[in-house]
Amino acid sequence: MDLNIPSFLRNQGIKASYQRIRIYEYLMNNRTHPTVAEIYNALITDIPSLSKTTVYNTLNLFVEKVLVEEVTIEGSEMRYDIKDPKGHGHFKCTQCHRIFDVPIQIEKIFTEELSEFQVQAQFVHFVGICPDCLKKNS
């Protein structure tokens, strides 16, 4: 995907500072649902002035502007994911602790019982053992 991140951010009403650009770029290129610490560790050598607080605040701003989604699965720290307009579910492996994307048409599981509610977010989480770990176990 060829995205001009600075102008993309500006179009979303976000001041496109160098640090914000790099954080957004990192999330685009690493669909691994990184934590604040992982993003910080990946960028600190390139951006010595970066702080964990800046990473955290930038992510919060992106979440507020609906560019990034928070991923929380029971028992794990907050992770971040580029907003996927199609939406997807997540599978958390209890052995290697990786989080996998699961393509799911979330609107298909929308039930009649919710018709009176205003839904603002939908999350589908699976927990179990991933194929790699199953192979290792056997």
Measure the CA angle with vertex 14, ends 81 and 84; round to 5°.
25
- The two beta strands, 68-71 and 79-82, are antiparallel
Nearer Cβ to Zn ion, position 47 or 63? 63
Taking CB under 5 A as the criterion, the residue among 101, 106, 125, 126 binding Zn ion is 101
Could you say whether residue 130 binds Zn ion (CB under 5 A)?
Answer: yes
Taking CB under 5 A as the criterion, the residue among 96, 102, 109, 127 binding Zn ion is 96
Task: State which of positions 109-128 bind Zn ion (CB under 5 A).
Answer: none
Nearer Cβ to Zn ion, position 48 or 103? 103
CA atoms within 13 A on the CB side of 125: 14
**Burial of 125 by CB count in 10 Å (0-12 exposed, 13-18 middle, 19+ buried)?**
middle
Could you say whether residue 133 binds Zn ion (CB under 5 A)?
Answer: yes
Distance (Å, whole) CA 60 – CA 58: 5
Residue 88 DSSP SS3: strand
Taking CB under 5 A as the criterion, the residue among 29, 72, 95, 122 binding Zn ion is 95
Kindly state the tokens that stand for 28: 């685009």
Query: What residues pair up with 128 in beta bridges, in sequence order?
Result: 93
Nearer Cβ to Zn ion, position 10 or 97? 97
- Distance in Å, CB of 87 to Zn ion, minimum: 10
| Binding window for Zn ion (CB under 5 A); candidates: 6-14, 58-66, 91-99, 115-123 | 91-99
Could you say whether residue 81 binds Zn ion (CB under 5 A)?
Answer: yes
Residue 4 is given by DSSP the state -
Interface with Zn ion: number of residues (CB under 5 A): 7
What are the residues binding Zn ion (CB under 5 A)? 81, 93, 95-96, 101, 130, 133
